[in-house]
Amino acid sequence: MTKTAPEAPPRHSDETKRKLSPAAQRFANASSTSLGSILIKIIVIAIVDATAVFALFTAIGREAWAIASVIAVITVLINVVYFKKGWLPAKYLLPGTIFLLIFQVFVIGYTGYISFTNYGSGHNSDKADAISALLQSNQERVEGSPGYPVKVYSGDDGLAMLIEREGQQLIGDGNDALAPVEPASLGEYTELTFADLLGRQQEVTSLKVPVSDNPADGTLRTSDGRTAYQYTSSLKYDEAADTMTDQKTGLVFKDTGVGAFTADDGTQLMPGWSINVGFDNFARAFTDSSIRGALLSVSVWTFAFALLSVASTFFLGLFLAIVFNDIRMKGRKIYRVISILPYAFPAFLGGLVWAGMLNKDFGFVNQVLFGGADIPWLTDPWLAKFSVLWVNLWLGFPYMFLVCTGALQSIPQELSEAATIDGARPFQIFRLIKLPLLLVSVAPLLISSFAFNFNNFNVIYMLTEGGPRLEDAGLNVGATDILISMVYKVAFVGSQRDYGLASAFSIIIFVIVAIISIISFKQTKALEELN
């Protein structure tokens, strides 16, 4: 089949202008001139500004100075750029740049920041939070002490508690210990109703009334405004020395810079807080033998998985594209539609469906195709790897088929005709003429496909969840885990999360993918120059 030469592009001249419909003409006029467009511009920027001002006040209200200043700078920038005459490139670039900063630079920066901290289980907040949580949870009710019905009064010195003990009324506040009081002298206080209490919850629940002048007796506190209990705290925080003292054992816990109060014998008080740990997470990834082993085997499999996935899907897709591109083939359109179907099905669901079909005892594959055989598709390490590749092939070949079909159709038929006349056999034509030409246009897609598979979380997690588990690894990783699913498990599976380590892994993956992409794109360029 000879291909007709493409139509000459329409000449770009006055002719095109004349072809505009009247409505389009009006729009073109309006937008190129003043009033309408300025009005739209003002409205849009007003909306942006209003949103920004709202966000600004919220941020200031929460004392988030960094966020507030970023919002302020961006808002000013938007106003300047769009109201300034000229600066046309800036007008086009600004939105993209802002989104790039927020969604790319910030994310990478933040991941980088987390990778230098010990953020994770037991270290998920700052030091102030840790101290208050420690003091909060170490309040112990004095054993055998009764609950006192309590009334909360408001006086000159703030809130006070009135309780009745042994027929005697006692009152006390944050500074003064409980002391007997005459009913008559209660006049200077006002009793708080439940609604009042609700309005001053923080004050009420943080009110600690010393039971006596002896601090060891503890304090009365109430958490519902009705009943007060006597508490002592086993931990005492010394602000000046920055130490926690266990008052029962006398053990002193110091801030030794590991993100938790630590005693001399190494025991730690939990919760701790998150601190900067420098390159510890990266060092652990490469030196901790149990992590290093897992990281190494997972990395090797990740490369194998990505390479094999790209290769298998590409060759199957290419093969089908060639077959369905041959005019001797009947019903090509139907075949093409059928081949694209797996692509139309969400990969996420595809994985789940295949997991069901590959179930050892009840799956379609063993039951129907292998006549009830017990083949452990998903639980044997090697078969699981094979299954993952197989399912990924099923999910991925349609894309390659589409791409290759497109690329093949753009290769002029004359080339192969000429080669045939010169005596080339079909395979030679394919290998020496079609494939190189095809690769020029497909190679960048193969690289991005490699990068995609490198982080192809869906297939792995929906099919095997990374399993079967590696026995000797110190981390929860399995035979089919790729780097990204390992990161997910380190960060979000199980109750011992380690966001710091997970972020360090993410950075490592980022570096690997970046290096591969740079090298491969350089190679592709060479390929292009070849032609």
Partner 1 sequence: MKVNTRPWLLGGALTAIAALSLTACGGSGSAETSSSPATEQASPAAASGGSLTVWVDANRQPVLQEAAADFEKQSGVKVNLVIKDFSKIQEDFLRQVPTGKGPDITIGAHDWLGNLVNNGVVQPVELGDKASEFQDVSIDAMSYEGSTYGVPYATENLALLRNADLVDEAPKTFDDMIEAGKEADTEFPFLVQVSDVGDPFHAYPFQTSFGAPVFGTDDTGAYDPADLQIGNEGGVEFAKWLAEQGEAGTLKTSIDADIAKEKFVSGDSPFFLTGPWNVEAAEKAKMNLAIDPIPTAGGEEAQPFVAVQGFFVSAKTENLLAATEFLTNYIGTEEVQTELYEVGNRPPANKAAFEAAKSDETIASFGEVGASGVPMPNIPEMAAVWEFWGVAEAEIITGKADPAKRWKQMTSDIEKAISK
The residues in 115-134 that bind partner 1, with binding defined as CB under 8 A, are 121-122, 124-126, 128-130, 132-134
Nearer residue to partner 1 within complex by CB, 419 or 447? 447
Q: State the Cα–Cα distance between residues 158 and 152, nearest whole angstrom.
A: 10
Nearest in space to 454 (alpha carbons), one of 524, 382, 515: 515
Nearer residue to partner 1 within complex by CB, 79 or 145? 145
Number of residues in contact with partner 1 under rule CB under 8 A: 89
Does residue 347 touch partner 1 according to CB under 8 A?
Answer: yes
Does residue 198 touch partner 1 according to CB under 8 A?
Answer: yes
Does residue 501 touch partner 1 according to CB under 8 A?
Answer: no
Does residue 224 touch partner 1 according to CB under 8 A?
Answer: yes
Q: Which two tokens stand for residue 440?
A: 């020029």
Does residue 496 touch partner 1 according to CB under 8 A?
Answer: yes
Does residue 80 touch partner 1 according to CB under 8 A?
Answer: no
Does residue 169 touch partner 1 according to CB under 8 A?
Answer: no
Q: Which two tokens stand for residue 512?
A: 């690997």
Does residue 8 touch partner 1 according to CB under 8 A?
Answer: no
Q: Rounded to 5 degrees, what are φ and ψ at 138?
A: -100, 10
Does residue 387 touch partner 1 according to CB under 8 A?
Answer: no
Here's the x/- map for partner 1, 392-431, by CB under 8 A: it reads as x--xx--x--------------------------------
Selected binder of partner 1 within 5, 66, 216, 327 (CB under 8 A): 66
Q: Which two tokens stand for residue 265?
A: 């014998």
Q: How far is the CB of 1 from partner 1 (least distance, A)?
A: 30
Selected binder of partner 1 within 4, 13, 289, 495 (CB under 8 A): 495
Nearer residue to partner 1 within complex by CB, 236 or 360? 360
Bridge partners (DSSP) listed for residue 150: 163
DSSP assignment of 421-478: HTT--HHHHIIIIIHHHHHHHHHHHHHHHHHHHHT-HHHHHHHTTT-SBPSS-SSS-B
Residues of this chain, 33-62, that bind partner 1 according to CB under 8 A:
59, 61-62
Does residue 299 touch partner 1 according to CB under 8 A?
Answer: no
Selected binder of partner 1 within 211, 318, 321, 459 (CB under 8 A): 459
Does residue 465 touch partner 1 according to CB under 8 A?
Answer: yes
Does residue 199 touch partner 1 according to CB under 8 A?
Answer: yes
Q: How far is the CB of 63 from partner 1 (least distance, A)?
A: 4
Residues of this chain, 176-195, that bind partner 1 according to CB under 8 A:
194-195
Place of tokens 């506190």: 221
Strand-pair category, 168-173 with 179-180: antiparallel
Residues of this chain, 98-117, that bind partner 1 according to CB under 8 A:
102-104, 106-107, 110-111, 114
- DSSP H stretches of helix in 264-412: 280-287, 289-325, 332-344, 347-357, 364, 381-409
Q: Which two tokens stand for residue 523?
A: 């190679």
DSSP assignment of 163-196: EEETTEEEEEESSSPPEE--GGGGGGSEEPPHHH
Rounded to 5°, the CA angle 471-477-481 comes to: 125
Q: How far is the CB of 216 from partner 1 (least distance, A)?
A: 18
Q: How far is the CB of 350 from partner 1 (least distance, A)?
A: 10
Nearer residue to partner 1 within complex by CB, 97 or 111? 111
Nearest in space to 314 (alpha carbons), one of 251, 208, 209, 397: 397
Nearer residue to partner 1 within complex by CB, 69 or 413? 69
* Residue 376 DSSP label: -
- DSSP H stretches of helix in 62-171: 65-83, 88-100, 106-115, 127-137
Nearest in space to 373 (alpha carbons), one of 389, 359, 385: 359
Q: Which two tokens stand for residue 163?
A: 């309780």
Does residue 524 touch partner 1 according to CB under 8 A?
Answer: no
Residues of this chain, 309-338, that bind partner 1 according to CB under 8 A:
309, 313
Q: How far is the CB of 494 from partner 1 (least distance, A)?
A: 6
Q: How far is the CB of 495 from partner 1 (least distance, A)?
A: 4
The set of residues, in sequence order, having a beta carbon less than 8 Å from that of 437 and lying 6+ positions away, is: 407, 411, 415, 531
Nearest in space to 490 (alpha carbons), one of 307, 290, 352: 290
The set of residues, in sequence order, having a beta carbon less than 8 Å from that of 129 and lying 6+ positions away, is: 271, 273
Q: How far is the CB of 206 from partner 1 (least distance, A)?
A: 8
Answer whether 286's CB lies under 8 Å from 511's CB. no
Q: How far is the CB of 313 from partner 1 (least distance, A)?
A: 6
Does residue 379 touch partner 1 according to CB under 8 A?
Answer: yes
Q: Which two tokens stand for residue 415?
A: 């080339």
* Residue 496 DSSP label: -
Selected binder of partner 1 within 223, 256, 409, 428 (CB under 8 A): 223
Which value, to the nearest 10 degrees, does the dihedral of the CA atoms of residues 26, 27, 33, 37 take?
140
Q: State the Cα–Cα distance between residues 72 and 76, nearest whole angstrom.
A: 6
Q: How far is the CB of 192 from partner 1 (least distance, A)?
A: 11
Query: Whole-angstrom distance between the N-terminal and C-terminal Cα of the chain?
Result: 24
Q: How far is the CB of 187 from partner 1 (least distance, A)?
A: 24
Q: How far is the CB of 119 from partner 1 (least distance, A)?
A: 9
Does residue 67 touch partner 1 according to CB under 8 A?
Answer: yes
Does residue 175 touch partner 1 according to CB under 8 A?
Answer: no
Edge-to-edge strand list for the sheet holding 261-262: 235-238, 243-246, 252-255, 261-262
Residues of this chain, 247-276, that bind partner 1 according to CB under 8 A:
270-271
